[in-house]
Amino acid sequence: MTRNADNAVGMMDDAYFVGKSTLLTFFNELLDLNLTKIEQTATGAVACQLTDYIFPGSIPLSRINWEARSDYEYVSNYKLLQAAFTKHSVKRYVDVGKLIRAKYQDNLEFCQWMKAFYDQSGSRREGYDGRAIRAKGKGGKKYDSVVIKGATKPRVSTRRPQQQRPAPLKASENNARPVNRSTNVEAEKLKKLNTEMESRISELETTVGDIEKERDFYFGKLRSIELFLQVKQDKQFEGDDMEDVTGNIFKVLYATVDNDYQVDDEGNIVPTSAEGSHNKGDISADLSDALGSEGDSNEQIDDSFSNEILAAEQDVSIGQ
C-alpha cells in the first residue's frame, strides 16, 4: 500500500456512506472493543490503536491515554495520531477541535475515513490481541474491565461555566407591575416628535423636488447649447459668424421658463412655443407626430367610435 492511499478517499466516496452499526461492528471485532456509540471514539485512543494496527510500532502504546476525560487529554492522544500520520506520509488533516467535542457527525465522518483507510491498506495481523495492546497504555486494563452501557463517559470541561441569566417575566407577572406615571408623558413626547419629523420630511421632499426641477431646467439649457454647437460643427460653421453664434448661445442661456428656446434639426434657435405644445418634450413631440393634424385626429376618433358601435351591434345580434 502506498502511504498516500488516503488521497483516494474523496467526500463522495462510498466510504462516507457506511452506517454507524457497520462502523461499530468493525472496531469491536478488529480491536476487541465494546463500543456502543460513535461518540466514544472522540478521545482519539481508538484511532491511535487502529493506526498502530496498520503501522505496527508507529505509536508509543504506553502514551495512549484510555482514561482521557478532559480536552487536553484528548488532544494528547490526537498528537500521537498526527505524529504517526506524518511519519508515514499520510496526508490527512485531523480537525482535533471538532473531534474532541464528541459530536456525532464529526466523529462519524472520521471513523468512516479510518475504516476506508484500513480497507485500502490491506493490513491483516493474525493472532492480534487488542486487549493486550490496550493494557500497555494508560488505563487500558481498567478500560477493558468496565462494561460500557450506552452513554459516553462524562468529560471534565476546561471551560468556565457560563453564568445563568434570569428568566424573562411571564405575561401575567409583567402586567402585575405598577405602571410608571412617566410612561404616558414619554409617549406624548414621542408622538409630538414624530409629528414634527414627518412635517420636516414633507418640507424636505418639496425642497428636493424644486431643486430637481431647477437642475433639469439648467441641464436642458446646456443640452440645447451642445446640440447647437454640434450641428454648427458638422456644417463647419458655414454661413455663420462669431457674433451670430454667441448671440444664439446667450439667447438660450438667458431664456426663462415661460420664454424658452430650443434647437431644431437645422441648428436654428427657435422659441419653444413657436412650434406648438408638442415641442415641449420628446414624448409630446412623438405623440403629436403620431396623431398628425387636428382634423385627421378627429376623423380617426370618429371612425374608431363608429367601428366600436358596429362591433357591439353584431355581438348583440349573435347573442339573440
Higher per-residue pLDDT: 156 or 57: 57
Answer whether residue 142 shows pLDDT above 60. yes
Long-range contacts of 48-51 (CB under 8 A, 24+ apart): 48/77, 48/80, 48/81, 48/84, 49/130, 49/133, 49/134, 50/114, 50/118, 51/81, 51/84, 51/85
Please indicate, yes or no, if residue 274 is contained in any of the structural domains.
no
Answer whether residue 3 shows pLDDT above 80. no
Query: All 3 cell numbers of residue 289?
Result: 407626430
Please indicate, yes or no, if residue 50 is contained in any of the structural domains.
yes
Domain count, the chain: 1
Residue 94 sits at φ, ψ, to 5 deg, of: -100, 110
**Which pLDDT value is given to residue 254?**
87
Question: Distance between CA atoms of 23 and 27, rounded to whole angstroms?
Answer: 6
Please indicate, yes or no, if residue 232 is contained in any of the structural domains.
no
**Which pLDDT value is given to residue 312?**
52
Higher per-residue pLDDT: 44 or 176: 44
H-assigned helices in 165-293 = 171-176, 182-234, 242-253, 282-291
Give 70's DSSP letter.
Answer: B
Please indicate, yes or no, if residue 260 is contained in any of the structural domains.
no
Whole-number average pLDDT of the chain = 78
Query: All 3 cell numbers of residue 127?
Result: 493472532
What mean pLDDT comes out for the span 302-316?
Answer: 54
Range of the domain at 91: 5-145
Among all chains, which residue has been given the C-alpha cell 476506508?
116
What mean pLDDT comes out for the span 48-62?
Answer: 94
**Which pLDDT value is given to residue 251?**
84
**Which pLDDT value is given to residue 118?**
92
Please indicate, yes or no, if residue 176 is contained in any of the structural domains.
no
Query: What confidence tier does 319 reach under pLDDT thresholds 50, 70, 90?
Result: very low
Please indicate, yes or no, if residue 167 is contained in any of the structural domains.
no
**Exposed (0-12), middle (13-18) or buried (19+): which is 315, by Cβ within 10 Å?**
exposed
Answer whether residue 264 shows pLDDT above 90. no
Which of 19-28, 166-175, 217-226, 229-238 is the most confident on average?
19-28
| AA letter at 194 | N
Answer whether residue 179 shows pLDDT above 70. no
Question: Angle, to 10 degrees, between the axis of helix 104-121 and the axis of helix 20-31?
Answer: 50
Please indicate, yes or no, if residue 266 is contained in any of the structural domains.
no
Please indicate, yes or no, if residue 278 is contained in any of the structural domains.
no
Q: Which residues pair with 319 in a beta bridge?
A: none
Q: What is the CATH number of the domain that holds 64?
A: 1.10.418.10
Residue 35 and residue 107 in contact, taking contact as beta carbons nearer than 8 Å? no
pTM summary value: 0.45
Give 2's DSSP letter.
Answer: -
**Tens-place pLDDT, residues 77-126:** 999 999 999 999 998 889 999 999 999 999 999 999 999 999 998 888 88
**Tens-place pLDDT, residues 223-256:** 888 888 888 888 888 888 888 889 889 988 888 8
